[in-house]
Amino acid sequence: MEARVWGARGSIPSPGHETARYGGNTSCVHVALEDGTNLILDAGTGIRNLGLALPEVLDGPLHILLTHLHMDHIQGLMFFAPAFRPDSEIVIWGPASPEASLEDRIARYISAPLSPVEVRELPSHVSFRDAEAVEWQIGGATIRADSVTHRGPTLGYRVTEGASSLCYIPDHEPGLGTPLSALEDEWISGLALARDADVLIHDSQYTDEEYPSHLGWGHPPLTDALEFARRAHAGRLLLFHHDPLHSDDFLDAVAVTAAERWAEMGGPPGAVVLAAEGATASLPSAA
Torsional class of 233: left (φ above 0), alpha (ψ -120 to 50), beta (otherwise): left
Overall average pLDDT of the 194-214 stretch = 97
Residues of the chain above pLDDT 70, percent: 99
Overall average pLDDT of the 147-174 stretch = 97
DSSP designation for 80 = -
Name the least confident of 41-55, 88-102, 106-120, 230-244.
106-120
Overall average pLDDT of the 160-189 stretch = 95
Residues 51-90, buried b or exposed e (16+ Cβ, 10 A)?
Answer: beebeeebeebbbbbbbbbbebbbbbbbebbbbebeebeb
Q: What is the pLDDT of residue 132?
A: 81
Name the least confident of 59-68, 116-125, 161-170, 233-242.
116-125
CA atoms within a 13 Å half-sphere pointing along the CA-CB vector of 73:
25
Nearest to 275 by CA among 28, 12, 16, 107: 28
- ∠ Cα 242 93 53 (to 5°): 60
pLDDT tens digits, one per residue of 232-247: 999 999 999 999 999 9
Name the least confident of 29-38, 76-85, 129-138, 186-195.
129-138
Overall average pLDDT of the 23-52 stretch = 97
Q: Which H/E stretch holds residue 28?
A: strand 28-32
pLDDT band at 229 (very low <50, low <70, confident <90, very high): very high
| Homologous superfamily, domain 2-280 | Ribonuclease Z/Hydroxyacylglutathione hydrolase-like (3.60.15.10)
pTM above 0.85, yes or no: yes
Report whether 271 contacts 258 (CB < 8 A): no
Residue 78 CA to residue 185 CA, distance in Å, equals 39
Residue 10 CA to residue 75 CA, distance in Å, equals 12
- Residue 264: pLDDT over 60: yes
Overall average pLDDT of the 221-242 stretch = 97
Mean pLDDT of the chain: 95
Q: What is the pLDDT of residue 284?
A: 81
**Please, is 110 exposed, middle or buried when counting C-beta atoms within 10 Å of its C-beta (0-12, 13-18, 19+)?**
buried
- Residue 286: pLDDT over 70: no
pLDDT tens digits, one per residue of 55-96: 988 889 999 999 999 999 999 999 999 999 999 999 999 999
- Residue 186: pLDDT over 60: yes
End-to-end CA distance of the chain: 13
Residues of the chain above pLDDT 90, percent: 90
What is the residue extent of each domain of the chain?
A: 2-280
Helices and strands in the chain: count of H runs, count of E runs: 6, 14
Relative orientation angle of helices 222-232 and 248-264, to the nearest 10 degrees: 50
CA atoms within a 13 Å half-sphere pointing along the CA-CB vector of 180:
24
Overall average pLDDT of the 220-243 stretch = 97
